[in-house]
C-alpha cells in the first residue's frame, strides 16, 4: 500500500497507526534517510534540509535494503515513496501495489502544520504546537519526557520547496496509479481519518 500526500498532511502519522492495526510493515523513506550514518548522512543531509529530493538510484538502493527484512513479508505501507513518476515505474518492477491512499490537505494548512511540528528526540513521537496532538509541555514528550525538537527541513523556505516539489513531481504518480487511488480528506480528526483508511484497505 502506498500513502501519498504533502509533507504535513498526516501521512506519516496515519501510516504508523494503520501499520499497527493491520500488521503491515511501515516504511518511511524520510525516516530511513534521517537515520543514515557516516558518508551517506553527509550525502543526504544537505539535500533533505533544502527540501529537494535525493537521487532516485540512491533512494531505491536504500529502500531495497529495507524491504529485504523479514517484517516486510506480510506486506508494506510505503510512506514517502514513490515521490516521482520514475520511482513509481521502478517500484512496479519490484512489487504489486494494491491501493494508493492519497491524504488530501491544502497547501496553506500544511504550511501552518509544519511550522508547528515537533518530534521527540528519544522515542520519535510526533506533536504539533498549533494543532492536534498538542504536547502538555511544548518542550517535553508526553510519552517519555524526551526533548521535543523541530526537523531542520521544517523552515518556511524548505517547506515552500517541498510543496512545489510535491505538485510538480509527486502528484503525477496519482494518474499513473489510476483507479487504485483512494482520496481521503486529511483535514479531520486523526481517528476518523484512520477509520476511513482501514475501511478502504479492508474493501479488497
The backbone torsions φ and ψ at residue 29, rounded to the nearest 5 degrees and listed phi first, read -70, -30
CA angle 80, 59, 198 (to 5 degrees): 25
Helix count and strand count (H, E) for the chain = 9, 8
Binding mask 139-158 for ligand AMP (x = CB under 6 A): --------------x-----
Among 49-57, 93-101, 117-125, 183-191, the segment contacting ligand AMP (CB under 6 A) = 49-57
Output the smallest distance, CB 75 to ligand AMP, in A: 19
Judged by CB under 6 A, does residue 101 bind ligand AMP?
A: no
Judged by CB, which is closer to ligand AMP: 95, or 145? 95
Residues 98, 30, 24, 70, Cα dihedral to 10°: 110
The residues assigned a catalytic role are: 11, 83, 117, 151, 162
CA dihedral for 182, 60, 120, 171, sign (positive or negative): negative
Helix ranges (H only) for 106-189 are 107-116, 156-165, 172-177
Judged by CB under 6 A, does residue 54 bind ligand AMP?
A: yes
Judged by CB under 6 A, does residue 29 bind ligand AMP?
A: yes
Q: Which residues are near ligand AMP by CB under 6 A?
A: 7, 29-30, 33, 47-48, 51-54, 59, 80-81, 83, 87, 153, 162
Amino acid at each position: 500500500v502506498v500513502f501519498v500526500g504533502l509533507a504535513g498532511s498526516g501521512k506519516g502519522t496515519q501510516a504508523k497507526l494503520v501499520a499497527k492495526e493491520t500488521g503491515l510493515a511501515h516504511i518511511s523513506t524520510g525516516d530511513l534517510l534521517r537515520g543514515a550514518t557516516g558518508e551517506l548522512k553527509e550525502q543526504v543531509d544537505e539535500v533533505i534540509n533544502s527540501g529537494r529530493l535525493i537521487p532516485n538510484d540512491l533512494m531505491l538502493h536504500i529502500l531495497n535494503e529495507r524491504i529485504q527484512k523479514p517484517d516486510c513479508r506480510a506486506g508494506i505501507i510505503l510512506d514517502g515513496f514513490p515521490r516521482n513518476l520514475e520511482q513509481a515505474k521502478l517500484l512496479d518492477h519490484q512489487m504489486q501495489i494494491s491501493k494508493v491512499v492519497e491524504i488530501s490537505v491544502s497547501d496553506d494548512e500544511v504550511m501552518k502544520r509544519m511550522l508547528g511540528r515537533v518530534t521527540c528526540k528519544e522515542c520519535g513521537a510526533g506533536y504539533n504546537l498549533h494543532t492536534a496532538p498538542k504536547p502538555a509541555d511544548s518542550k517535553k514528550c508526553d510519552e517519555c519526557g524526551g526533548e521535543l525538537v523541530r526537523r531542520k527541513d521544517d523552515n518556511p523556505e524548505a517547506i515552500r520547496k517541498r510543496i512545489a516539489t510535491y505538485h510538480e513531481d509527486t502528484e503525477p504518480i496519482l494518474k499513473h496509479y489510476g483507479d487504485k487511488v483512494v482520496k481521503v480528506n486529511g483535514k479531520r480528526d486523526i481517528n476518523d481519518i484512520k477509520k476511513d483508511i482501514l475501511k478502504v484497505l479492508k474493501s479488497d
